[in-house]
Amino acid sequence: MDKPSVKNIVILGGGTAGWMTANLLNQKWQHLGVKITVVESPDIGIIGVGEGSTPLLKVFFDSLGISESEWMPECNATYKNGITFNNWSTVNGYEGYFHPFPTSLDFATFGFLYKYSALRRKGLDILAHPNRFSLMANLTEKRLAPLPAESFPFHFQYGYHFDSVLIGKFLREKAKGLGVEHIEATVENVEQGENGDIKFLMLNTGQNLSADFFVDCSGFASILLQKTLNVPFQSFAENLFNDSAIAIPTEIEPNIPSETISTALSYGWVWKIPLTNRFGNGYVYSSKYCAPDEAEKELRAHLGLLDSDIEARHLKMKVGRSEETWRNNCVAIGLSQGFIEPLEATALQFVYSTIDEFAKAFEEGGFTNQHREEFNTRMNLNFEGIRDYIVLHYKTNSRNDTQYWIDNRENQNLSNNLKEMIECWYAIEDIEATLTRLNIGQYYSQRSWTCLLAGMGIFPRQENLDSADAENAKAAQSDLDYVDNFITGCSLNFQAHEKMLVKG
């Protein structure tokens, strides 16, 4: 953007999404004289989109030049190797599995998982549980941090756990220190021009705040994109049933774990996220199947807090996406753009990728329809690609304790891409080739799809298996010995998670 047509950008809403946007756009365009203002209402609470991330949050902080030693203690943050899923499956030996973030050493072990999961699907009685083939799963079991010794020069992607309110405050102070203007006010009305563009925001302070471009970070309210510009909302309720959540904190334990744990309950699942000062716990459930008081009681029982007076926080979720992310002179980022339930902790991933993609599109084409339409298409595909992978968790469950789980398993409202991926698994076809053909491998890789499907035990029943012939059995044992030795040796280059944390 050599000579920007945009000189003033107003971001409506603070929180993590608003202040991530302010920091990134300020870094990209401040040198061009672009002024950025954040309007944040002191009367509207921050929802907090969760306390876990994917590796893209590290990319975000690295791009701003903010070190872990600076931001992590301020936000009670810990490292995250991946997510453990417990009790989603009732298949013997597959009641839980770990979904790891990628490493540059995966090539040495995951090829064996692909090989033996294919043989297992063909009906041979061979071990194919993904945890056995994952270095990250091994580190997590030992509660080690994903930070290798300097003498072990391999790349490990990892995420974080953090206090979402504190990270918003941290980013706010960072942005203000770099020249971003912060106005505490509530929007009372939005004025549009004849062409539909937003002209200015009428604030409760009496100020009319104009800008060349507006960013909607107003949360589920989507004040600018959906309410003012009338962009329709496309619900994902037909294939993602959960619409509610309850959060309760508990005391942290010694030797802090380096994983998020997702445990299936009667009408949804519970997250358990370690911070340096507490565990964040929350029950994500469907209000169609379970009343809030019943869900709270089940969560308290799960946490051993039936007799506790610790307050529970009830939240409603609006799961789906806007049909467009960018319309006229407004782009939505965060919950105002859309939301997929927090099962794979993708909320801040969407925030970062949307800001980054928008900046590229705007720099290349400004207000041209072509760039706006291409950007909107990419954002919609991004939502749908991630949604499909999350839907697969529910589709492949084997629980029969409630109608909720049965209905999820029997749900036929699946995208064509997801149907093809499921068919690919059962037909023992090449997953990588199928992901490439469908052009969806950028959302989740062969490793992720295999970990989920193999981890849930989506194989022929044990009683229908054939014993591996002597040649296959011998090869499998040799390969497993190699994998075990390789992973054990690699794990010696990592230290305890607790030791690697710098606490505030």
Angular region, 439: left φ>0, alpha ψ -120 to 50, beta rest: left
Instruction: Tell me phi and psi for residue 58, to 5 degrees.
Output: -65, -40
Q: Does residue 250 contact residue 278 with C-beta atoms inside 8 Å? A: yes
User: In angstroms, what CA-CA distances link 88 with 266, 343, 394, 424?
Assistant: 10, 12, 8, 22
Q: What are phi and psi of 186, to 5 degrees?
A: -110, 135
Residues annotated as catalytic are: 80
- Residue 271 in contact with residue 281, Cβ under 8 Å? yes
Q: Phi and psi (nearest 5°) for 221?
A: -65, -30
Query: Which residue, among 256, 252, 381, has the nearest Cα to 323 in the 3D structure?
Result: 381
**Are 295 and 223 contacting, i.e. CB atoms less than 8 angstroms apart?**
no
Helix (H, G, I), strand (E, B) or coil at 165: helix
CB 25 within 8 A of CB 34: yes
β-strand partners of 179:
none
| Strands 213-216, 233-235: pairing kind | unpaired
In the block, tokens 């209000």 appear at 287
Residues written for the chain:
504
Contact 56, 352 (CB under 8 A): yes
Residue appearing with tokens 């104009």: 210
Q: Assess contact for 491 and 142: CB atoms under 8 A.
A: yes
* Cα–Cα distance measured from residue 142 to residue 129, given in angstroms and rounded to the nearest whole number: 18
Which residue type sits at 155? H
N- to C-terminal Cα separation, the chain: 39
Query: What's the CA angle centered on 258, arms 102 and 297, to 5 degrees?
Result: 115
**Cα 89 to Cα 241, 263, 303, 408, 429, distances in angstroms:** 18, 10, 21, 13, 23
